[in-house]
A = this chain, B = another copy of it.
């Protein structure tokens, strides 16, 4: 999945499956896909150089070789733009290769997530948009669909694999299964983010091992109840 077919990226339109516009016969000059790409690239570059606080949309437009109006036609503001720009990184970087055991899978995803958080563009942007989202429902939804839900899928996939391997029991109640997945997700993502950004300590192999042990033991002992 690339940024091209992500739902709700552009400000208007809402990307129907067939690409048509609501008004009926799509008319006028179509939007430049090249501009979209250039803007998102420029946003990431500016994030690296300047950080969230000093990032200005005028500067992004200039870097992208694009007029400010072109940028505002597609995104409502800094928050929306940055969410889309970093979401693309989550697309590229987060996978869950089968490493053969639950422990290895968790350690793997922890380290890959930590590596993503180490990148200056994510480090500076992620907390900032989350902070803004506390006051902006639409932004919260955008973050959820563009970033959070994709991470959560990894948890579901990892659990399924562990169950297939017999490392975790199958859960009969689907509601409680969903609750458990949410819990595990918040624990993993929360611990890694907190370690990396709040405590500002490295998420290295040692830490990942300790954390994973704690979690796997907890899961094995707690979930069956």
Binding site for B on A (CB under 8 A): 51-53, 120, 123-128, 130-135, 140, 143-144, 148, 179-180, 182-183, 185-187, 189-195, 197-201, 207, 210-211, 213-223, 225
A52-B131, A128-B128 are known; give 17 further A-B pairs, CB within 8 A: A51-B134, A127-B131, A130-B198, A133-B197, A179-B210, A183-B207, A185-B199, A186-B195, A187-B211, A189-B198, A190-B193, A190-B195, A193-B193, A193-B194, A213-B225, A214-B222, A216-B218
Given A199-B148, A218-B218, A222-B214, is A190 in contact with B194 using a C-beta cutoff of 8 Å? Answer: yes
Q: Are A183 and B197 CB-contacts (below 8 A) given A53-B135, A218-B217, A221-B218?
A: no
User: Across the interface, which residues of B come within 8 angstroms of A194, CB to CB?
Assistant: 186-187, 189-190, 193-194
Given contacts A127-B130, A134-B123, contact A183 B53 (CB under 8 A): no
Residues of B within 8 A of A132 (CB): 51-53, 128
> A128 — which chain B residues lie within 8 A by C-beta?
127-128, 131-132
Q: Is the interface of A mostly helix, strand, loop or mixed?
A: helix
Q: List B contacts of A51 (CB < 8 A).
A: 132, 134-135
Residue of B with least CB distance to A206: B179
In Å, the complex CA distance between A201 and B223 comes to 20
User: What is the oligomeric copy number?
Assistant: 4
Chain B residues lying within 8 Å of A219, measured Cβ to Cβ, are: 214, 218
Q: How far is the CA of A51 from the CA of B222 in the complex (A)?
A: 39
The chain B residue with its CB closest to the CB of A187 is: B191
CB-CB nearest in chain B for A132: B53
CB-CB under 8 A from A210, the residues of chain B are: 179-180, 183, 222
Choose one: B148, B187, B197; the contact of A214 (CB below 8 Å).
B187
Shortest distance from the beta carbon of A23 to any chain B beta carbon, whole Å: 16
Most buried by B among A127, A183, A185, A193: A127
